[in-house]
Amino acid sequence: MIVGGSVVVPGDKSLTHRALMFAALARGTSRIEGALTSLDARSTARVLRQLGVEVGPLRPGAVVTVRGRGALRRPAVRLHCGNSGTTTRLLLGLLAAHPFRAVLTGDASLRRRPMRRVTVPLTRMGARFEEHGGRDGLPLAVRGGPLAPLEYELPVSSAQIKSALLLAGVAGKVRVSLREPHGRSRDHTERMLQAFGYQVRDRAGWLDFEPTGSLVPFEFRVPGDPSSAAFLVGAAALAEQGTIRVEAVGVNPTRVGFVHVLRRMGVPIVVENEHERQGEPVGDLVASPASLRATEVEPAEVPALIDEIPLLAVVASRAKGTTVFREVGELRVKESDRLGLLAANLRAVGADAEVSGDDLHVGGGNGAPRGYVRTDGDHRLAMAFAVLGTVPGAKIRIDDLRCADVSFPGFPDALRSVSRHR
């Protein structure tokens, strides 16, 4: 396969969620350009509308206007968060400081995802929760109110948990101190808070938040999502020749761990045209094919590349040697049992893969990958194996590539636009 050309990926999913929520709490009209229009982003926009916020339509190429009222209003219906864990967990943080009862639910996949990792610390702050049938998941009712300050050590390094607690601090106007156990998770929330004048600082491994700022209407241009860009970079790594440029991508250091791993595997990747947008670094990712070699991904690296492990694993299946991903058990509670399915699907297409405890081992080979891939509706698995399907001689059937719309609308077209067979 030959790759070539320049491509722009959809707006960053993490930043789109956060921009919509910050705008919802600001009193006045904010304008968000380049917002992601995926199913997950639409879920956030939908529930914010149900909470009394005026959110314009999310359409490709359109500027989204958000008219906030300074606070959320009691919803008249259940808040359906679709497949979006980010929508759910961040919203729980916001609702924890609002004096009314709201019920959150989601699709079958989201209802299986654990929520106590967020509700336990929010309960310490003063919020109350009602679980459905005593199980850890959705549906879940939250009744918020005045909050107390929090000092808390997270059970896992997670941007969703961290952001939920920081947003509770913002909405409740209370101090929050957090410590993550394994490396620093993505820091978009911290950067946005600092832009609004809030004090967020590191203190000997603790993250301290002080409610010193104020949310005001803003304008923001969302950069391209690095997690989406990773799949096109991966296609370049697996190609026989050519170069791909992915333009105006967010290159926040807490989001591009996959770049460092691919470089260790031999992939030439450079960042060009670097600049900043409201504190977020942005640049073009330029990547070319490589003679791939195995590597080991350490636990401290995982928070900065957790969403890209499916892509890195399919690339590793073409490398010389065995690649090991250490302590990636968190993948079991993503949109699917991503860890188990990833290994099973790699074996289904002829690769060598096994899970040992919380570690994933992927052996490399050069046989043409062929077989049937079951995604359980997991968008990142679908896209990763679509990338593997670009290898010459590959015959991979994916049960549901449409689920890629959760994070990357138009993914199949984007992949075709930068790749062609000899």
Active site residues: 307
Q: Which residues of 54-65 are buried (b: 16+ CB within 10 A; e: fewer)?
A: ebbebeeeeebe
Residues in a beta bridge with 250: 282
Q: Spell out the alpha helix ranges (H) of 96-187.
A: 108-111, 116-125, 159-172
Q: Are 230 and 267 in contact (CB under 8 A)?
A: no
**DSSP notation for 32-89:** EES---SHHHHHHHHHHHHTT-EE----TTPEEEEEEESS----SS-EE-TT-HHHHH
Please list, in sequence order, all residues whose beta carbon lies within 8 angstroms of the beta carbon of residue 310, skipping any fewer than 6 positions away: 338, 342, 380, 381, 383, 384
Phi, psi of 247 (to 5 degrees): -90, 145
In this structure, what DSSP letter does residue 336 have? S
Which burial class, exposed, middle or buried, applies to 201 when counting CB atoms under 10 A from its CB (0-12, 13-18, 19+)? exposed
- Give the span between the Cα atoms of 307 and 239, in whole angstroms: 22
Three-state DSSP class for residue 241: strand
- Give the span between the Cα atoms of 34 and 37, in whole angstroms: 9
What is the number of other CB atoms lying within 10 angstroms of the CB of residue 197? 11
- Measure the CA dihedral 80/84/87/89, to 10°: 100
How far, CA to CA in Å, does 328 sit from each of 279, 320, 332, 333, 360? 30, 22, 8, 11, 7
Residue 306 in tokens = 């957790």
**DSSP notation for 299-325:** GGGGGGTGGGHHHHHHHHTTSBSEEEE
- Give the span between the Cα atoms of 389 and 264, in whole angstroms: 23
Which burial class, exposed, middle or buried, applies to 356 when counting CB atoms under 10 A from its CB (0-12, 13-18, 19+)? exposed
- Give the span between the Cα atoms of 164 and 234, in whole angstroms: 31
